[in-house]
């Protein structure tokens, strides 16, 4: 027969085992709660990430499907651009401005036979050169900005003096809210003709480092700007455009002068007649031909 002391010892050990089992059960329950919470958090996080990515994909898809693109209408000229983000940048003259103007042959033959201008050093003085552009629709006074764009002015003046622009059409008029220009300088009137040589951009392109993302952002070419048309970097030739309303373009078109008040009145008259056949981009409804461009 077990003694009372033995029975008490047995009961004590039994109670200790029960307490130990209960503690283990409580520990397991707490562990399950922690694991469950972690799982719940992970699931919630996954749902959030999935939601964000799904929304992003939806937005990206919407943007891609809703975007509109405008193909170039004619080679050698500006195409329509997004709304403006600012005007032309301040001019800072490079140390070697005009020191080495080069006019290599272009891949396309000349639309009208003409010799290339003299290459090498071109003076930046006088700072401006005036010219008179006579057309069948009226006269346009031009002020060429030799201090900012000497290589461009050198080419334009050379072509004018050699009669390259005489009896040539202004082949393109744009009347959109973001691009309002008259384009001239192609003897063929097709938008693809040039002088048989090409040259690099100057102001405002030269105010940016090469490959600067800002070169892809539109700026405002103000009303009265005279600028070169091109088909890409280093492809300037003879085609130019005259801005009759503030226009938005990337700064990839050399702004080499301005049009005077008389010239702007002539441009306004041409623009008011619109584009042949309607629309906002094409041949002017009113025939526009350059009689001559003479340096004053």
pLDDT at 135: 98
Residue 59: which H helix or E strand, with range?
A: helix 4-66
pLDDT of residue 59 exceeding 50, the answer is no
Task: Fill in the DSSP letter of residue 196.
Answer: S
* Separation of alpha carbons 234 and 135, rounded Å: 29
pLDDT of residue 35 exceeding 60, the answer is no
pTM: 0.74
pLDDT at 78: 72
Give DSSP secondary structure letters for 211-233. T-GGGGS-EEE-TTEEEE--SST
Tell me what percent of the residues of the chain surpass a pLDDT of 70.
Answer: 72
Q: Which of 26-35, 59-68, 263-272 has the lowest mean pLDDT?
A: 59-68
Q: 277 is written with which tokens?
A: 């056949």
Task: Fill in the DSSP letter of residue 281.
Answer: E
Taking CB atoms within 8 Å and a gap of at least 24, the contacts of 82-86 are 82/178, 82/218, 82/248, 83/178, 83/218, 83/248, 84/178, 84/218, 84/219, 84/220, 84/246, 84/248, 85/217, 85/218, 85/219, 86/219, 86/220
pLDDT at 86: 75
> Do the Cβ atoms of 149 and 223 come closer than 8 Å?
no
* Separation of alpha carbons 260 and 15, rounded Å: 108
Dihedral sign of CA atoms 99, 164, 290, 70 in order? negative
For residue range 222-243, list pLDDT tens digits in order: 999 999 999 999 999 999 999 9
Q: 112 is written with which tokens?
A: 């009208």
**How does residue 6 score in pLDDT terms, banded at 50, 70 and 90?**
low
φ and ψ at 247, to 5 degrees? -130, 145
* Separation of alpha carbons 270 and 272, rounded Å: 6
Sheet holding 172-174: strands in order across? 168-169, 289-295, 128-135, 138-145, 255-259, 225-228, 240-243, 181-184, 172-174, 281-282
pLDDT at 45: 37
Residue located via tokens 């799982």: 39
For residue range 109-145, list pLDDT tens digits in order: 999 999 999 999 999 999 999 999 999 999 999 999 9
Dihedral sign of CA atoms 125, 126, 128, 130 in order? negative
247-249 and 138-145 strand pairing: unpaired
pLDDT of residue 288 exceeding 80, the answer is yes
């Amino acid at each position: 027969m077990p003694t009372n002391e033995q029975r008490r010892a047995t009961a004590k050990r039994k109670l200790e085992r029960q307490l130990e089992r209960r503690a283990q059960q409580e520990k397991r329950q707490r562990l399950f709660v922690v694991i469950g919470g972690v799982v719940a958090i992970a699931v919630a996080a996954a749902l959030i990430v999935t939601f964000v990515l799904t929304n992003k994909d939806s937005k990206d898809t919407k943007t891609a499907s809703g975007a509109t693109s405008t193909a170039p209408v004619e080679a050698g000229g500006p195409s329509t651009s997004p709304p403006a983000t600012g005007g032309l940048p301040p001019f800072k003259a490079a140390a070697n401005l005009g020191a080495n103007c080069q006019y290599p042959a272009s891949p396309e033959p000349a639309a009208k036979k003409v010799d290339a201008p003299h290459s090498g050093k071109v003076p930046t003085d006088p700072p401006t050169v005036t010219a008179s552009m006579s057309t069948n629709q009226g006269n346009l006074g031009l002020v060429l900005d030799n201090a900012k764009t000497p290589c461009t002015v050198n080419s334009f003046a050379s072509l004018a003096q050699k009669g390259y622009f005489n009896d040539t059409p202004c082949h393109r008029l744009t009347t959109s809210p973001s691009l309002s220009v008259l384009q001239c300088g192609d003897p063929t009137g097709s938008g693809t003709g040039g002088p048989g040589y090409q040259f690099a951009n100057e102001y405002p392109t030269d105010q940016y480092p090469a490959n600067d993302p800002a070169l892809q952002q539109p700026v405002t070419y103000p009303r009265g700007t005279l600028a070169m048309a091109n088909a890409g970097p280093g492809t300037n030739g003879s085609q130019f455009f005259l801005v009759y309303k503030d226009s938005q373009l990337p700064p990839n078109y050399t702004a080499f002068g301005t049009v005077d008040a008389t010239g702007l009145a002539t441009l306004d008259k041409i623009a008011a007649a619109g584009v042949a056949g309607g629309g906002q981009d094409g041949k002017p409804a009113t025939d526009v031909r350059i009689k001559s461009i003479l340096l004053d």
